[in-house]
Chain A
Amino acid sequence: MIESFLFMLGIGAACSIVLSFASKVFYVYEDPKIALVEDNLEGANCGGCGYTGCSAAAQAVVAGQASPTVCVISSSREKVENIAEIVGMPIGTAEASLSYNMCNGGYRATDKYNYLGVMSCKAMEIVFGGKRDCHIGCLGLGDCVKACAFGALIIGKEGFPVVDDDKCVGCGACEKACPKNIIEVRTLSEKLLKMNQQNDPLAPCSQTCPAEIDIPRYIALAKAGKYKEAVQVIRMRNPLPLTCGRVCPHPCEDECRRGIEDEPVSINQIKRFVSDFEMESGSRIPIKCAPDTGKKVAIIGSGPSGMSCAYFLRRIGHKVSIFEAMPKLGGMVRYGIPEYRLPDKVLDWELDGILNLGINAFTHVRFGKDFGLGSLVASGYSAVFIGIGAWEDYDLGIEGEDLEGCFTGINFLSRISQGEKLELGKTACVIGGGNTAIDCVRTLLRAGLEKVYLVYRRTRKEMPANEVEIVASEEEGIDFIFLAAPTKVVGNDAGHVSKLEYLKMELGEPDDSGRRRPEPIKGSETLIDVDTVITAIGQSPEASFKDQNPHRRLTELELTRWNTIENDPEVLTTTIPYVFTAGDAATGPSLVVEAIGGGRRAARSIDMFLKGEKITPASDSLRQKRIRESIFEEVKGIEKIKRAKMPELPVEKRLDSYVEVDLVLPEKDAIAEANRCLDCCRLCYNPDKQQPFV
């Protein structure tokens, strides 16, 4: 008994002595941070992060190979922040990611062949890339579901994975398991800055939208009565849904698949309905922003491009200040679009929502006059966005244009919009055929003029203005003078406009733009009596900021011959590395939605610039090109259903005031319209009636 006791004691002592010596001899220095980081991990040793155990993960974090968010089962933001603090990483990198599925095809997608193999996407993908007709579509066997250790994924009843955001920890297992790259784990910032790419499951409408809004997704939400969620989907791409819902000429509807067999879905009306719903509901949907990065960006110009750029930069965590020359924010959207199309109080509500994200705005400060690039850099702004729009009207270059009573389009609209009372007389004529010209005509009619002519050198068919706008102006009593080229403005003795002389034209051969070139008829000079002449034949950016403050650096900013800022249209960089641009200042006069898309594109480049990365375009960036295989000649299974008619103010009520003319759809009609949507993806869609099997 004694000897066994002594033996065990002896052998135990021997072992412990050997080990204690060994621990001294074989001591390896370990960073004390590793132990601290490990304390903040969950300690489950689950290996979900891809490292062998928590201590290996802690080592990787300290070595800077893994981010503080490495632990996939830790849901506590506090712990992540602790880790970030220990390793001294900026909190900005600790942004959580979530899984996101882009395909909405599922079971409705057509199959290429009968599959009898192993029920796994990976196995099926090996055989001819899967049985689905669509080469990028979801196979629906749920490898991602099996890969998810947190039960955050299910294959929904439509046959594609549905993510439960509350359960998802962003570990990335599903992304790795998916052989088709459909399910992606992305942070909010990455999702906000995602550009449409050739291999994305995109419906034709989303490919066309210059702002790249996920149109089928928000329409599907609207259909389900989830209006607020629908607005959130729109806000992922477009910060100005109220504005766009009113003024967008909706190029998306031209590509609508239903439009091939029937009238296209009234996409913009649905957008207007859901965004108006948010405004009328009285409460704003909270907008999530990524953690602060501490970088500052200056935005010059608060038009749609500047607002969009500011909004996206703010949402991905940068500090943004807006500098605006006019008394109020909004740029061309406020001053160029008349009150009856976009009421000021609607715009104010929308812009307030963006400023509420924590954006500083300074008004009455003009670039080049009150501040320059140098002062911005000196105040700590790391990048500058120039979105100054196109405010300078072209003039006709004809005699008498400087007489009293002559105005130019944008100048006229912005003065009216600021409440200036102009002496306009009784008869006016507007020269031009674009939207600005129509806006001037409709504003003049509201200002109480008896007769308003629109002088255009081609015919109605060639007018670049939106068809709905032309129709509305016809209802309101416009007088067209087509095929007319103004030659002279005639004044009276007091130096005021009294007559306009023009030459009649006839259409000749088509020119480069495919429109028939108008040619003057000799000796056809005609005179009309007018009190006011407004020239609205196009605009260019106002580039006087370059001369007013000859900052050494600013001379490097190159302009094109149309006065737009020289830029790379894909990434919107300029000739100065830290200066970016978008909107009309970059493209020349264009659509609001184009400027919004440009603002987001510029925000992406600015973000890359601030991170010190090389600014590269997204690979296979679509940028409003069409995906060939997704554009159909004919669409089967369509039943003709009437498109919802937009309610309008009756004509007799319109002209007394500047009250908004176009009204929002009633809820019933909006849902009916949403139900007309085929919920298209790249190839598949929901037909109205099932096709018999051939």
Chain B
Amino acid sequence: MDLILLAIGCIFVNNILLAQFLGNCPFLGTSNKMETAVGMSMAVVFVLVMAGVISWMVDHYLLKTLDIEYLRTVSFILVIASLVQFVEMFLKKSIPALYAGLGIFLPLITTNCAVMGVCLINIKEEYTFVQVLVSSFSYAVGFGLALIIFAGLRERINIARVPKPLQDTSIGLITAGILSLSFFAFKGMV
């Protein structure tokens, strides 16, 4: 039950994009087309779960035992970057079909603040291993949900009459703001 609440909390209430405002670059960058938004969401789910698990392990077995928690951020950056590179190589060789779908998005996530943020939140909230799995996956789903909703909105905006000063990214940010407001309705649910 707790895990389900945790999942709902991560997807809706503390949505990584619309409540915590992390990962705004891919949110605006890959939301022009539904196709790329879906690809990006899949890649995030994939990477975030792996990064969450690895970073938790690094924190739990290395940093904590050696008592050097102040190196957390810098070592996470290193580990996540290497992980993404590794995954990219692995996919290219072993699962070319998946690589073809996710390939170009993987390098984009290497230094993504959403991924980094989730890893740090996991540690801050002192989650157990199972909780880390659930929270990483749910945050990623929340990311995908927001991105896909937003891509759908932007596809409509592209054929709408928008005043010149507000075109493109400006109207995107305004829409994101309104979308974020609507997500605030979930506050207090969990």
A residues near B (Cβ < 8 Å) are: 3-4, 7-8, 11-12, 15-16, 18-19, 22-23, 25-28, 52-53, 56, 118-120, 122-123
Contacts and interface: CB of A to CB of B under 8 A. Distances in A.
A118 B161 contact: yes
Contacts, number: 56
Contacts of A22: 85-86, 89-90
A19 B85 contact: yes
Contacts of B92: 26, 28
Given A4-B70, A7-B62, A120-B160, 8 more contacts: A4-B71, A7-B75, A15-B79, A18-B86, A26-B94, A27-B93, A52-B104, A118-B161
B74 interface: yes
B68 interface: yes
Interface string B97-122: 00000011000000000000000000
A8 B160 contact: no
A53 B161 contact: no
26 contacts: A4-B71, A7-B62, A7-B75, A8-B71, A8-B74, A8-B75, A8-B78, A11-B58, A11-B75, A11-B78, A11-B79, A18-B82, A19-B82, A19-B89, A22-B85, A22-B90, A23-B89, A26-B90, A26-B92, A26-B93, A27-B93, A53-B104, A118-B160, A120-B159, A120-B160, A122-B159
Contacts of A25: 93
A111 B104 CA distance: 46
Q: Which 9 A-B pairs have the closest CB atoms?
A: A26-B93, A15-B82, A26-B89, A120-B159, A52-B104, A119-B161, A22-B89, A22-B86, A123-B159
B66 A7 contact: yes
Contacts of A123: 159
A59 B66 CA distance: 47
Contacts of A53: 104
A26 B92 CA distance: 8
Contacts of B161: 118-119
Contacts of B62: 7, 11
A386 B141 CA distance: 70
Contacts of B68: 3-4, 7
B89 A15 contact: no
A27 B90 CA distance: 9
* Chain A contact residues, majority secondary structure: helix
Interface in B48-88: 58, 62, 66, 68, 70-71, 74-75, 78-79, 82, 85-86
A31 B86 CA distance: 22
Interface size class of B (residues with CB under 8 A): 20 to 34
A15 to B, nearest CB: 4
Nearest to B67: A3
Nearest to B159: A120
B86 A56 contact: no
Contacts of B160: 118, 120
A247 to B, nearest CB: 53
Given A11-B78, A28-B92, A53-B104, A3 B86 contact: no
Given A52-B104, A56-B104, A122-B159, A15 B66 contact: no
B101 to A, nearest CB: 10
A525 to B, nearest CB: 84
A26 B88 CA distance: 10
Nearest to A122: B159
A15 B68 CA distance: 19
A429 B94 CA distance: 92
Contacts of B90: 22, 26
A56 B99 CA distance: 12
A27 B160 CA distance: 47
Contacts of B79: 11, 15
A382 to B, nearest CB: 40
Nearest to B93: A26
Interface string B148-177: 000000000001110000000000000000
Contacts of B78: 8, 11-12, 15
Contacts of B75: 7-8, 11
A443 B148 CA distance: 82
B85 A3 contact: no
A22 B86 CA distance: 7
B40 to A, nearest CB: 12
A22 B85 CA distance: 9
A28 B93 CA distance: 6
A118 B93 contact: no
A25 B161 CA distance: 53
A118 B160 CA distance: 6
Contacts of A26: 89-90, 92-94
Nearest to B89: A26
A179 to B, nearest CB: 11
A120 B162 CA distance: 11
A7 B82 contact: no
A612 B78 CA distance: 56
A7 B58 CA distance: 12
A123 B156 CA distance: 10
A53 B108 CA distance: 13
